[in-house]
Chains A and B, each alone.
Chain A
């Protein structure tokens, strides 16, 4: 069973609207949680990285939240743009050597 579950699997939103992606994990021990954006056919690019003591971290129009108690994270995209169309991947780092567990990603399509 995947230790990192993302929802929804995909979503379509209108340009200018907001959306929120979810990530639930069971990875233990926990080191940090990352969100990556992957354009089709390109390498993933880091959006945020949070340790257990951080609740919120922003990167422009992207805001990630983390609740280490419930092992849940969310990524909020504000005022979506066409360029936000991509797969968003939640990655959880475990032990000190950073064994990474990848979610399957949420495919976001922003339409005009």
Chain B
């Protein structure tokens, strides 16, 4: 158990819909990262937050947004969903600004029908 909690574990929805994925980092970790992993693909970095502020952006679509709340949990919002958004979405946390070890959650599997 990495200590990073992601909900929901599985989510099935229709095209055009909007979903929210939630991540609770390890206790005390200030950095939260979001990654997307499509079938048989590598991890694609979406966005990083550090202590509530956006720190880095990767290949995140404009239809996607995220935030980190004062209690350090984070949410990833996916809107106007398309079939191609079906993927595993991982959250990871780190105690440091980014040079330390990453701890990954078990992921949220999104299926868009």
Assess A98 versus B99: contact at CB under 8 Å? Given A43-B2, A89-B43: yes
Please classify how large the interface on chain B is, using the bins under 10, 10 to 19, 20 to 34, 35 or more: 20 to 34
Q: How far apart are the CA atoms of A106 and B111 in the complex, in Å?
A: 25
CB of A1 closer than 8 Å to a CB of B: no
The 8 Å CB contact of A98, one of B2, B94, B107, is B94
Chain A residue total in the interface (Cβ 8 A): 22
Enumerate chain B residues within 8 angstroms of A93, measured Cβ to Cβ: 98-99
- Minimum CB–CB distance for B103 against chain A, Å: 8
Contact with B along A30-50 (1 / 0, CB 8 A): 011010000001111110010
CB of B34 closer than 8 Å to a CB of A: no
Is A31 touching B107 in the complex (CB atoms < 8 A)?
no
CB of A70 closer than 8 Å to a CB of B: no
Is A41 touching B88 in the complex (CB atoms < 8 A)?
yes
Enumerate chain A residues within 8 angstroms of B92, measured Cβ to Cβ: 43
CB of B64 closer than 8 Å to a CB of A: no
Is A42 touching B107 in the complex (CB atoms < 8 A)?
yes
Assess A43 versus B107: contact at CB under 8 Å? Given A100-B45, A102-B42: yes
Is B56 touching A89 in the complex (CB atoms < 8 A)?
no
- Minimum CB–CB distance for B36 against chain A, Å: 12
> B31, B55, B101: which has the most chain A beta carbons within 10 Å?
B101
Enumerate chain A residues within 8 angstroms of B99, measured Cβ to Cβ: 31-32, 93, 96, 98
- Minimum CB–CB distance for B48 against chain A, Å: 8
Q: Provide a sorted-by-A list of 28 A–B residue pairs whose CB atoms are within 8 angstroms.
A: A41-B107, A42-B106, A43-B2, A43-B4, A43-B104, A43-B106, A43-B107, A44-B90, A45-B2, A46-B102, A93-B98, A93-B99, A96-B97, A96-B98, A97-B55, A97-B98, A98-B31, A98-B96, A98-B97, A98-B98, A98-B100, A99-B56, A99-B98, A100-B45, A100-B102, A102-B42, A102-B44, A102-B45
